[in-house]
Amino acid sequence: MRPWRLVSLLSVTATASYLCRVNVSVAGVLMMRELGLSQQAMGRVFSAFLVGYALFQVPGGMLADRFGAPRVLAWASLAWVAATAWMAGAGASVAALLGARCLLGVAEAPMFPTAAQAISGALPVARRGRATGMVVAAVGLGSAIAPPLVSFLMLRWGWRAALMISSLPAFAVGCIWMWMRRSVVAAGSRSNDVDRAVPPVGPTQTRTFVLLTLSYSLQGYVGYIFIFWFYLYLVDVRHFDLLRGALFSSLPWLLSIVSIPLGGWLFDKLPCDRRTLPIAGLSGSGVFTAIGAHAQNPYLAAVCMAVATALVLCVEAPFWATMTAVTGTRKGAGGGVMNMGSNIGGLISPALTPVLAASIGWEGALLVSAALAVVAALLWFWIRPQAVTA
């Protein structure tokens, strides 16, 4: 398969994966009412996804290194549908909901390590930022589609039907990968000329990788608050109605459709120190989160939070492009380790945020995330530019 066709298919797959991932954050409004779940219980359900997702990042990356993208993503996509069906069929048992979300996390774990491994096998280092930006921008597309789509479906047929219908794209891409797995060259079976020219991993690359993982962990804490709690925050705290809340919760993801690929393109093209982009994106996200948390006007708050989300996501491509430049031939496993760090941060934030909100208020809880975004930006000062451009 031609490189950019592969990138396009990876992008469609990422969109389908995020529809399955975030549909419950929208359906959660009616789920809590019907099943009698508290915010704390719903937070645990959100975090259950991240338990499976974080723990299986490294095994998922190793599978990508061993078998390549087509085979791994074929079975993973079909597993997303099965896990969503379990969630839709679950009753009021919190244990069943936790199990379904954890299984979905396990099944989705290989997505981005596999994509990074496939991109590194198809494109040279100088083009990986924009390619990664395209794939990760599909996250924004899936997250933008989910609120209005799931709201529309659940108001007409209930939240269970809404979950199942939103998983149909995953079934479609799973079938495509199954059909193509024999004709697509497995990304893990070859290395391009650029990869053969990369020197062995040394102390500079190792330090860069550790700092990337730490920074990405903090970025994950911040990002997952918006993924799981933004819609409910608008409805329960800022008192938007369901449909208006759905429209405004789509705004961050619409902005990120532009900000994510733009971040990847700029990272590839910047003639000077490329650390400028992630530092500006992460610190800017912290500033806009703080402004939005303090704003009295709910519409100003929603817009500021949307900008903060777009900024925190615009640095995705720099993280992944840097990772592929410093991990030698084990890019799938390296991506798994880095993404595991992000999702450990993400595992904490959906459960901890409502606890913080109950004790210090939602403004205080969001200010904590703003401070962590700034710390994530500061860590990039200790990444050596030559390690990023290796």
Return the domain boundaries, the chain. 3-388
pLDDT tens sequence across 353-363? 889 998 999 99
Burial grade of 172 (CB within 10 A; 0-12, 13-18, 19 or more): middle
Over range 76-87, report the average pLDDT: 93
* Token output for 190: 């070859």
pLDDT of res. 93? 77
Contact 67, 186 (CB under 8 A): yes
Q: CA-to-CA distance for 167 and 19, rounded, in angstroms?
A: 7
Across all residues in the chain, what is the average pLDDT?
A: 84
pLDDT of res. 259? 92
- How sure is the predictor about 1, in pLDDT bands with cuts at 50, 70 and 90? low
pLDDT of res. 379? 95
pLDDT of res. 311? 95
pLDDT tens sequence across 318-332? 999 888 888 877 788
pLDDT of res. 325? 80
Query: Three-class SS string for 16-38?
Result: HHHHHHHHHHHHHHHHHHHHCCC
- How sure is the predictor about 390, in pLDDT bands with cuts at 50, 70 and 90? very low
pLDDT of res. 283? 97
Domain 3-388 in this protein, CATH class = mainly alpha
Over range 198-203, report the average pLDDT: 59
Over range 90-110, report the average pLDDT: 87
* Token output for 122: 């198809």
- How sure is the predictor about 105, in pLDDT bands with cuts at 50, 70 and 90? very high
pLDDT of res. 194? 45
pLDDT of res. 6? 86
**Confidence check: pLDDT of 191 > 70:** no
Q: CA-to-CA distance for 1 and 7, rounded, in angstroms?
A: 10
**Confidence check: pLDDT of 30 > 90:** no
Residues contacting residue 211 through CB under 8 Å, at least 6 positions apart: 379, 380, 382, 383
**Confidence check: pLDDT of 282 > 90:** yes
- How sure is the predictor about 187, in pLDDT bands with cuts at 50, 70 and 90? very low
pLDDT of res. 138? 82
- In this prediction the pTM is 0.77
pLDDT of res. 183? 55
**Confidence check: pLDDT of 268 > 90:** no
**Confidence check: pLDDT of 200 > 60:** no
pLDDT of res. 371? 96
Give 253 or 293, the one with higher predicted confidence: 293
- Element (DSSP H or E) covering residue 177: helix 168-180
pLDDT of res. 92? 66
Over range 210-219, report the average pLDDT: 94
- How sure is the predictor about 182, in pLDDT bands with cuts at 50, 70 and 90? low
Give 67 or 188, the one with higher predicted confidence: 67
